A = this chain, B = another copy of it.
């Protein structure tokens, strides 16, 4: 890669000045006493030669690489990684930083390898991301520099960026209440493992809290809560079918994520019921499928791009070591309407 690039020495020579002078001018050093004319000459020379500093040489001396690492557990198996990466990439670019990506796949060997790779390259900071919102243990080796947790928390007091799942839970409940649903709202996707083990999920518990608090404030309680072993379409499908056998049919269901909601749609279709006329559905994530369903699924969107961006902002601009909650905007589509009766 790369070829005959002009060096700082070339620039200095052409400007008729020393490397020192050229370096100081180009780095915009304050307090230097170089003349305005010297500045001009250096800038002109750099421009003419198309000078770009050699990052390796610079970071050898300064120990700064203008590169940050994005370490995640799993990037491939989730559609969400793209948004996190994109947001991080944008924010990094705005701050003239590059992004080095590694993946641990949850494997300690890979993790060790990933850590070594980024320490060897002396990155200026690390975004440590989880693909499912959860608590995790940060390898101590990277604690020597700035670290921001993305979509995760940890026992260490590190800055975190999380989606506001509780707010989203409240918003979902609020949307149903606002449409007139009261005592016949069901919930699909209870899962004790997700709710009780923060290392598995933080989202489940937070969403549930938001939903319950909002309903409780309106004096409403859930008609029924369906437990699901996983949050996959088939589990939503089963849960919905069981719900339909119940003597009082719900007027609305809240699904803990869009995949469950998709399963619910399938079950409703098979039962010959129409959304939202017979039953409203609301959900979380804004998976691409939410927009493809007929009618479109109303859902609180995981703001992945915002989150990725936020993580890099916190990392590079410093700021509070606290947790940032990024709001989950409600995407209103056609799946929620007033109850029929």
The interface of chain A, by Cβ under 8 A from chain B, is: 1-3, 52-57, 59-60, 63, 65, 67, 70, 75-79, 81-83, 85-87, 89, 93, 98-103, 110, 113, 116-126, 142, 144-146, 232-234, 237, 259, 262-263, 266, 269, 288-289, 292, 294, 304-305
Q: Determine which of B93, B100, B263, B294 lies in contact with A100 in the assembled complex, contact meaning CB atoms within 8 Å.
A: B100
Q: Determine which of B98, B116, B125, B294 lies in contact with A1 in the assembled complex, contact meaning CB atoms within 8 Å.
A: B125
A106 to chain B, nearest CB (A): 13
The answer to whether A100 touches B67 (Cβ under 8 A) is yes
Given A1-B124, A55-B120, A101-B101, 15 more A-B residue pairs with CB atoms under 8 Å apart are A1-B145, A2-B122, A2-B144, A55-B122, A56-B59, A56-B60, A56-B122, A67-B121, A79-B79, A81-B81, A81-B82, A98-B102, A98-B121, A100-B101, A232-B292
Tell me the complex Cα distance, A101–B55, Å. Answer: 17
Number of copies: 2
A260 to chain B, nearest CB (A): 11
Tell me the complex Cα distance, A98–B67, Å. Answer: 12
The answer to whether A52 touches B118 (Cβ under 8 A) is no
The answer to whether A305 touches B76 (Cβ under 8 A) is yes
Q: What 3 pairs between A and B have smallest CB-CB spacing?
A: A1-B145, A76-B86, A76-B82
The answer to whether B52 touches A56 (Cβ under 8 A) is no
A1 to chain B, nearest CB (A): 3
Q: Determine which of B1, B67, B93, B305 lies in contact with A122 in the assembled complex, contact meaning CB atoms within 8 Å.
A: B1
Tell me the complex Cα distance, A100–B119, Å. Answer: 15
The answer to whether B117 touches A98 (Cβ under 8 A) is yes
With a cutoff of 8 Å between Cβ atoms, the chain B residues found around residue A75 in the complex are: 82, 85-86, 89
Tell me the complex Cα distance, A99–B70, Å. Answer: 10
Tell me the complex Cα distance, A76–B98, Å. Answer: 17
Q: Determine which of B54, B85, B99, B259 lies in contact with A120 in the assembled complex, contact meaning CB atoms within 8 Å.
A: B54
Tell me the complex Cα distance, A304–B99, Å. Answer: 21
With a cutoff of 8 Å between Cβ atoms, the chain B residues found around residue A103 in the complex are: 86, 89
With a cutoff of 8 Å between Cβ atoms, the chain B residues found around residue A53 in the complex are: 120
A173 to chain B, nearest CB (A): 26
- The answer to whether residues A89 and B67 also contact, given A60-B54, A79-B82, A83-B76 and a CB cut-off of 8 A, is no
Tell me the complex Cα distance, A289–B76, Å. Answer: 15
Q: Of all chain B residues, which has the CB nearest A65?
A: B56
The answer to whether A292 touches B2 (Cβ under 8 A) is no
A276 to chain B, nearest CB (A): 16
A303 to chain B, nearest CB (A): 12
Q: Of all chain B residues, which has the CB nearest A304?
A: B76
Tell me the complex Cα distance, A86–B105, Å. Answer: 10
A117 to chain B, nearest CB (A): 5
With a cutoff of 8 Å between Cβ atoms, the chain B residues found around residue A86 in the complex are: 75-76, 103
The answer to whether B1 touches A144 (Cβ under 8 A) is yes
Tell me the complex Cα distance, A105–B20, Å. Answer: 38
A232 to chain B, nearest CB (A): 7
The answer to whether A292 touches B233 (Cβ under 8 A) is yes
- The answer to whether residues A144 and B3 also contact, given A67-B121, A233-B292 and a CB cut-off of 8 A, is yes
Tell me the complex Cα distance, A1–B254, Å. Answer: 44
The answer to whether B102 touches A102 (Cβ under 8 A) is no
Q: Of all chain B residues, which has the CB nearest A52?
A: B120
Tell me the complex Cα distance, A126–B2, Å. Answer: 12
